């Protein structure tokens, strides 16, 4: 059951399947450790700022809601 990252509930861990969007965007995410196959935990949603906080390889990252829509994930 695949869906986009922005629909994941806080506290849930998922596996990244595919990154869409532009090449530069994909490269940047991958270089920060968000590679397909990586497990990602949704830490929290900051709806006021329109951003999500993720935990990847022990580090905290944030992406915008719109950008999280480009990330396809599946349950672990």
Partner 1 sequence: MSFGDSRTAAAGRLARVAIAGNPNTGKTTVFNRLTGSRAKVGNYPGVTVDREVGMLALADGRKVEMIDVPGTYSLSARSREEQIAIQAICGLPPLDAPDAVLLVIDSTQLVRNLYLALQVIETEMPVVLALNMSDALEANGLVLDRAALERELGVPVVTVSGKTGEGFDELRSALARVLDQPNVGRPGARWRTEDPILQSDLNAVAKHVPAAWHHGNESRARALAAWALLSIDERDELADAPSELRAAVLSRRKFAAAAGREIDGEIIRGRYGWIDARAPLFVKERASGELSVTDRIDRVLLHPIIGFTLFLLAMGVVFQSLFTWAEPVMGAIDGIFATLEAGTLSALGHGWVGDLIARGLVRGIGVVFVFLPQILLLFFFLGLMEDTGYMARVAFMMDRLMKSIGLHGRAFVPMISGFACAVPAILATRTMERQRDRLLTMLVVPLMTCSARLPVYTLVIAALFSTDTKVFGFLPVPGLMMVAMYVFSTVIALVAGAVLGRTLLRAQNVPLILEMPPYRVPHWPSVLRMMWTKSQSFVTEAGKVIVVCSIAMWFFLRFPWSADDALPFERERTQLVATVDDEGEREIALAAVGRREEAARLEQSLAATVGRAIEPALAPLGFDWKLGIGVMGAFVAREVFIGTMGAVYGIGSDADAESTALRDRMRAEKRPDGSPAYTPLVGLSVMVFFALACQCMSTLAAVKRETHTWRWPLFLFAYMTVVAYVASFVVYQGGRLLGAT
User: Which two tokens mark 71?
Assistant: 């990330």
Q: Which is nearer to partner 1, 3 or 62 (CB)?
A: 62
Least distance CB 11 / partner 1 (angstroms): 11
CA distance 23 to 45: 26
- Work out whether strand 3-4 and strand 59-64 pair parallel, antiparallel, or are unpaired: unpaired
Q: Of 1 and 59, which CB lies nearer to partner 1 in the complex structure?
A: 59
- Name the residues that contact partner 1, by CB under 8 A: 21, 23-33, 35-36, 43-44, 46-51, 53, 57-64, 67
């Amino acid at each position: 059951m695949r869906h986009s990252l922005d629909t994941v509930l806080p506290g849930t861990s998922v596996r990244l399947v595919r990154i869409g969007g532009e090449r530069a965007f994909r490269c940047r995410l991958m270089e920060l450790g968000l590679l397909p196959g990586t497990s990602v935990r949704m830490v929290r949603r900051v709806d006021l700022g329109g951003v999500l906080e993720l935990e990847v390889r022990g580090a905290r990252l944030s992406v915008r809601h719109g950008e999280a829509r480009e990330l396809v994930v599946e349950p672990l």
